[in-house]
Amino acid sequence: MAGAIVAQCAPAQAESVVKLPAALVDPAVNAKRATAVLAGGCFWGVEGVFSNVKGVISVESGYHGGSAATAKYELTHDGTSGHAEAVRIVYDPSQVSYGTLLRILFSVVADPTLKNRQGPDTGPQYRAAIVPLDASQRQVATAYLAQIGGGKYFAKPIVVPVEAYKRFYPAEANHQDFLRRNPKNGYILRWDAPKLAALKRLYPDMVRAKSAP
């Protein structure tokens, strides 16, 4: 992502934007806080979108799927580390559900029909993935993938994996809150700002009151 040359990014590579339905399987969680780990390509945009969702308390960019030794930005880019660029979301289940987070992920953040790539970024480190942290999240994830896959919202089959949780490793400080801190970055303008704009357009009721510009 950081090494992507914006001028070479064809518009046809942009992720699809689809207004998806609410999850049919989405049980209530009786807790003040819950955590989700999701991957959807470059973590700058994933974090930037979810940071603006009502009910989200915090979002942290990081790596999931590999070892501690390779959980570094410069070591994930050959695609052999096992890591996906991912985010860890802490949210208030009384305001936003796990199913709603998945709905937003596949509506405006990541194209669930792409394997090991999103937008201009290619390789397994940019895969979209759902990483359930308990049996309930796994149930919601499996059901929602089947729901949107059977609803003909996408022209191609859904290929997003539901991965077993290993360990989430926070990314380096310069990658945290990247979209908000670098709104004029070329990559952000071309690939990530449109995702945030799509969130506001498709799901205005899901956007927190003080949203990033």
Catalytic annotation, residues: 42
SS3 168: strand
**Helices 193-202 and 43-50, axial angle in degrees (round to 10):** 30
Q: What are the φ/ψ torsions at residue 140 (nearest 5 degrees)?
A: -65, -45
SS3 74: helix
**Strand partners of residue 88:** 37, 60
Residue with tokens 């590999």: 66
Distance CA 55, CA 73 (A): 29
Distance CA 15, CA 2 (A): 18
The answer to whether the CB of 119 falls within 8 A of the CB of 42 is yes
Residue with tokens 């992502």: 1
